[in-house]
Structure 1
């Protein structure tokens, strides 16, 4: 049963953030308002806990959280925000929690966002970040982690790297990823009404802003239609009140058919990117993410407890949500 905290957060989202996605006009107003207050810097408390350095790639900052002594593994974290909103403290606190639990280095690119920039600028920058990571870190020690739009970017970046013949990351952790922007799945329309966060009208406007005219069925925008066989072992987290869930479940099925080892956490009653928000369900999800990443043994033990998409998909209508400023 969903916690009281999750019900409260859903209520707040439905009466605040969902407005951003209710129309193209509202999304543009929220973007304009966000630009006045957004701050990509890590919260001051993180500097007290970690050694954090920053450098520039293509004119945009990249933050590096140093690893624990002797640890070689490294996470590339790609934040969500519908491609139009900046990283938030919610993202930073999740990143810090993963760094605490695992001791891995974490690379956080503050990539260019729309409407000021588009797909080409975004992937030009994060592609360069990844190439530099490969110069410093063995690909078997690299993990891609992303939420929402960042989950989309993690999958697309891996597919683009495969196309260019680059070494690929060892694992993916995808939190409520956006994997199909085509709206070909009619279940998404039904899910929208139950989603306390995202809406189709505003979402389509965000896609228009960042996609640089690329068709929404192209795998660069909707990686569900790309070559899934190149993807690494994956943990995908999605919830029954997330508008993106119907497409997430299709992605999991197609990925498995393509030979990808993929575990799915399908949390009943949960909304978009719930692991970013402090509540019982997010603490449970973070434990699962850490187990998946810490060792093969821990991941295998966690998998036996996972809720299989094939069991849950028939028992409830999956649907999507999205953090307007995440």
Structure 2
């Protein structure tokens, strides 16, 4: 027990140091980067470089372009199953990232589940606004549904990708279509107005980014859209049959409240939803294994959840 406590304390200490570093580097930067073309391009390079440095793809992985839809197939080391697939939806505010930037996560999800991962390259803001990304995700799901047996598609996503994953599942259920077998969501966005994030921020400051900066970024996608749209609000009212869900978030991030409220919304709809708030962790810490000691264990839990659902 003493050794386990020592390991846990060491992990928390490392997380605290990482948060302190982010607070004096990333947060001031995200506060001043403008939400224009130059600012978006700068942010894309910054995030891509950070992910490549702190969460590079696993060695021995295979990446192949897809035919028919924009995206790529990813197989991590030892992922040899072909009877099911993980559809992975990247995040970063609907504006910054791609399947390529998220290979650190997709190769690890593939290796951890033993399954191929398909990562779509949905259209990004500010050039493409709501519901372009959601429509591209739906097209990717329909494309996979023609290639895999019903119930053999699993869904995973981070941040805005988590929002897209829930929206897709709600669409399918309302249409009477086969939904994904299970969802694993990392720091999912739930409230696109960022009222929940702002309230959380008043209680605990996020070391990476402010609620206002997040809102500006996502606003590039949601501008001119009705915030009451059920596809933005993610209302599960009247929906039944929602698949099992695992939601993970960091205890230090402002989207932790989003994770809690999304879990409540899905549970009210009858979903079996497990909520995992990991103390001391930042936004999508699973993507930063070189920075967060909790990244590996948390991702292993998520992969086990998906593997068991497959």
Query: TM-score normalized by structure 2?
Result: 0.83
How far did 1:194 drift? Answer: 1.6
Cα deviation per residue 1:170-194 (whole Å; 9 max; x = unaligned)?
1000000000123444633414x52
Q: What corresponds to 2:156 in structure 1?
A: 145
| Contact 2:57/2:105, CA 8 A, preserved across alignment | no
Q: Does the C-alpha gap of structure 1 residues 4 and 28 become closer, same or farther in structure 2, counting only changes over 3 Å? A: farther
Q: What corresponds to 1:257 in structure 2?
A: 268
| Contact 2:159/2:189, CA 8 A, preserved across alignment | yes
Structure 1 residue 159 corresponds to structure 2 residue 170:
yes
Structure 1 residue 268 corresponds to structure 2 residue 286:
no
Could you tell me how far apart the structure 1 residues matched to 2:293 and 2:224 are?
41
Q: What corresponds to 2:86 in structure 1?
A: 75
Q: What corresponds to 2:220 in structure 1?
A: 209
| Contact 1:229/1:255, CA 8 A, preserved across alignment | no
SS of aligned partner of 1:249: helix
Q: Does the C-alpha gap of structure 1 residues 90 and 98 become closer, same or farther in structure 2, counting only changes over 3 Å? A: same
Could you tell me how far apart the structure 1 residues matched to 2:171 and 2:282 are?
29
| Contact 1:21/1:27, CA 8 A, preserved across alignment | no
Query: Alignment partner for residue 190 of structure 1, among 180, 184, 202?
Result: 202
| Contact 2:113/2:304, CA 8 A, preserved across alignment | no
Stretch deviating more after TM superposition (287-296 or 45-54): 45-54
Q: Does the C-alpha gap of structure 1 residues 66 and 22 become closer, same or farther in structure 2, counting only changes over 3 Å? A: closer
| Contact 1:112/1:122, CA 8 A, preserved across alignment | yes
Query: TM-score normalized by structure 1?
Result: 0.79
> Superposed, which structure 2 residues align to 1:231-310 within 5 Å?
231-278=242-289, 279-295=292-308
Could you tell me how far apart the structure 2 residues matched to 1:27 and 1:175 are?
27
Cα deviation per residue 1:211-251 (whole Å; 9 max; x = unaligned)?
15222243312315665645310000012211011122122
Could you tell me how far apart the structure 1 residues matched to 2:127 and 2:159 are?
20
Matched positions, count: 292
SS of aligned partner of 2:281: strand
Name structure 2 gaps, 5 residues minimum: 1-8
Q: What corresponds to 1:168 in structure 2?
A: 179
Q: What corresponds to 1:136 in structure 2?
A: 147
CA RMSD in angstroms comes to 3.0
How far did 1:21 drift? Answer: 4.0
Stretch deviating more after TM superposition (29-38 or 203-212): 29-38
| Contact 2:12/2:280, CA 8 A, preserved across alignment | no
| Contact 1:109/1:129, CA 8 A, preserved across alignment | yes
Stretch deviating more after TM superposition (49-58 or 267-276): 49-58
How far did 1:70 drift? Answer: 4.4
How far did 1:24 drift? Answer: 7.3
Cα deviation per residue 1:135-186 (whole Å; 9 max; x = unaligned)?
0012321111000111111001111222333321010000000001234446
